[in-house]
Amino acid sequence: MSAPDPSASAATAPAQPAARASSLVKSFGATRALDGITAQLPAGKILGLLGPDGAGKTTLIRLLAGLMEPSTGSVEVLGHRPSAEGGTTQAQIGYMPQRFGLYEDLSVLDNLSLYASLRALDADTRAQRFEELLRFTDLTRFTARLAGQLSGGMKQKLGLACALLGSPRLLLLDEPGVGVDPLSRRELWRMVSELVAGGVTVLWSTAYLEEAERCAHIWLLDRGRLLYDGPPRQLSERVRGRVFRRRTLAGEARQLAEQELAREAVLDAVIQGSSVRLVARPHREAEFADPRYQPVEPRLEDAYVELLGGPRKGESLLARGWPVQSAAAAEPAGALVRAVDLTRRFGDFLAADHVGFEVRAGEIYGLLGPNGAGKSTTFRMLCGLLRPSGGDASVAGVNLLHAASRARARLGYMAQKFSLYGDLSVGQNLDYFADIYGLSRAAKRERVPAMIEMFELAPHLHSNAALLPLGFKQRLALACATLHAPAVLFLDEPTSGVDPLMRREFWHHINALTTRGVAVLVTTHFMEEAEYCDRIGLIWRGRKVAEGTPDELKARVRSARQPEPTLEDAFIALVEAEAA
């Protein structure tokens, strides 16, 4: 397999930057999506555009693609202003929007033809490019299939093929990794690397740190500002010598992480399976000269967290104000979530096939798997959103099939997408969820103000939930999900797309809640999130193919070739073993 048409792109001198922005500002009403960006996009490399949701990644890409005009400042792409001279520049830019920009009701070939017509390719070029690109993306067998019926990974490849139709010199990929399983993500990376070898410049926007880490160069965006511009390695070098791992016994990592984080000298402490990863504050590394602290290779995330100022410290007020759980104690076996042979059919398709597991009080259980593998189906059956075709499910000892309402009263649910009422104010949202969960007047008077205080929502109490900053939205969602002090928390990809600090804050609360006996069920395809779990069930093609602690899963794939496998490595190896 070769990169399509490398000759056209190799002709340009790589010394010239592929794009440059100077004092770039883009405002939407009162909000500044981009706030003074000055940077150069080095040609012939993969540039990672990293940042949480709402940081301005998409706005920057759209400005580069010439789809909008800057408010002030300027953009130059391949030596021209993209929109003013649209015709020539845009012909050399390939743009893959989020969710790939495909027409789901058209076939693979129709999608290609449509984009070819939009690019005004003549018939000969068209036939030749189609053949090249279909071969490159390995979609030749699927030309007649509707785009809507492709898997996430195949959609991604088709999106890429459409973006590559015009043999672009600059390829803009907006979050190509979202909603795609790790296997497909790796394959996309390989294809893009081939393109880069052929001289194409690629801008790859992502919220995944491990993706950014592999890029030659990164731009780190935060609230419209450029926090860092340079090779990722150079950023992680800043914390070299200050990153340590402290091993502990299984099940004790959580308390240890809390203890370590409380220390003045510690900037950051996160759980990694049964060990704790620490970042020392500058010039405090001497305090870790103890054999218990093993120095480790710095990662991008360590430096990113430092750049953002480090996580907040202190006890979780959410856990401190937690009402005494009589329910958790009343459950003798301790299994607060029980799934037995859960099965769900959609027509001929078996979305979940005899999935079974238990989550004990105080335990965090992760359902890990790519999109479409069946983890959401399983999850939705367990919170009563989907009726199982077979099997049984109970929450806090209450059967979900026979006493759904009573069972649901015992669980708190937080969805991946912010799903509170955007037209209601913060206070109205809290009131609504307090009432809908049947809080008594006295309980409401106590819990609602407590939530407002512990999540510092008071200044936003009267603003519409939809208009809150991302971090506050997340706090509000957690507040609404825990107002009724549920015995079980269901979290659906709770921290995808947020920055590492928000993720730490969120897990800080969740970890603290487990000490109050709350059982937590998490779905995720996000390896960083999975590291917080006590146990993980790996879901693949509707079945649970592996289960164990993160360390156990990693140990299963440890080999001479992979002495230190990450959870993602473990995931890929286990899934590949299953597929073989």
- Residues that bind another protein in the complex, under the rule CB under 8 A: 383-385, 387, 404-406, 408-409, 411, 413, 415, 417-425, 428, 431-433, 435-438, 464, 480, 490
Residue 248 phi, psi (nearest 5)? -150, 180
* Shorter beta-carbon distance to another protein: residue 116 or 434: 434
Spatial contact of 277 and 270, defined as CB atoms under 8 Å apart:
yes
d(CA 232, CA 220): 9
**Cβ closer to another protein: 19 or 383?**
383
**Helix runs in 215-252, H state only:** 232-237
Structural tokens at position 352: 């979940």
Distance, CA of 499 to CA of 196 (rounded, Å): 28
Closer residue to another protein (CB): 226 or 480: 480
User: Residue 435 CB, nearest distance to another protein (Å)?
Assistant: 3
CB of 538 vs another protein, minimal distance in Å: 25
d(CA 273, CA 469): 31
Question: Running DSSP on this structure, what letter comes out for residue 322?
Answer: P
Adjacent-strand bridge partners of 218: 48, 230
Q: How far is the CB of 425 from another protein (least distance, A)?
A: 8
Q: How far is Cα 111 from Cα 130, in angstroms, rounded to an integer?
A: 11
Nearest distance, CB of residue 494 and another protein, angstroms: 13
Shortest CA distance to 56 belongs to which of 75, 74, 32? 32
**CA quadruple 54, 58, 63, 64: dihedral sign:** positive
Q: Which residue, 264 or 423, has its beta carbon nearer to another protein?
A: 423
User: Which residues are registered as beta bridge partners of 216?
Assistant: none
Beta-strand runs (E) in 93-154? 93-96
- Of 189 and 432, which CB lies nearer to another protein in the complex structure? 432
Two tokens, residue 523: 């779905």
Alpha-carbon distances of 255 from 261, 305, 356, 527, 561, rounded to whole Å: 10, 21, 29, 21, 33
Paired with 543 in beta bridges are 540
- Strand order in 275-280's β-sheet? 266-272, 275-280, 243-247, 293-295
Instruction: Name residue, tokens 């799903």.
Output: 419
Q: How far is the CB of 379 from another protein (least distance, A)?
A: 11
CB of 210 to another protein, least distance (A): 27
Contact criterion met (CB below 8 Å) for 409 and 437? yes
CB of 478 to another protein, least distance (A): 13
For another protein, the closer CB: 189 or 421: 421
Nearer to another protein, 381 or 501 (CB): 381
Q: In terms of CB distance, is 195 or 393 closer to another protein?
A: 393
Which residue lies nearer to another protein by CB, 304 or 413?
A: 413
Question: Measured from the CB of residue 407, what is the shortest distance to another protein in angstroms?
Answer: 9
| DSSP string of 369-417, one letter each residue | --TTSSHHHHHHHHTTSS--SEEEEEETTEETTTSHHHHHTTEEEE-SS
User: Any bridge partners for residue 202, and if so which?
Assistant: 46, 171
Q: Give whichever of 142 and 437 is closer to another protein, judged by the CB atom.
A: 437
Distant-in-sequence contacts of 252-259, Cβ < 8 A, 24+ apart: 254/511, 254/514, 254/515, 257/511, 258/511, 258/512
Q: How far is the CB of 483 from another protein (least distance, A)?
A: 10
Asked whether the CA dihedral 327, 332, 337, 342 is positive or negative, the reply is negative
Closest to another protein by CB, 230 or 438: 438
> What phi, psi does 23 have (nearest 5°)?
45, 40
Q: How far is the CB of 349 from another protein (least distance, A)?
A: 18
Residue closer to another protein by CB (options 424, 454) is: 424
CB of 393 vs another protein, minimal distance in Å? 13
Task: Kindly give the pairing relationship between strand 543-548 and strand 535-540.
Answer: antiparallel
Smallest separation, CB 151 to another protein (Å) = 21
Containing 268, the helix (H) or strand (E) segment is strand 266-272
Q: Based on CB atoms, which residue is closest to another protein, 244 or 490?
A: 490
Q: Which two tokens stand for residue 565?
A: 């496998």
Report how far residue 102's alpha carbon sits from residue 113's, in angstroms, rounded to the nearest whole number: 12
Is 103 or 421 the residue whose CB approaches another protein more closely? Answer: 421
- Least distance in angstroms from the C-beta of 436 to another protein: 5
Comparing CB distances to another protein, the nearer of 294 and 405 is: 405
Residue 388, class by beta-carbon neighbours within 10 Å (0-12 exposed, 13-18 middle, 19+ buried)?
buried
Residue 395 near residue 407, CB atoms below 8 Å: yes
Shortest separation between residue 383's beta carbon and another protein, angstroms: 5
Name the minimum Å distance from CB 482 to another protein: 13
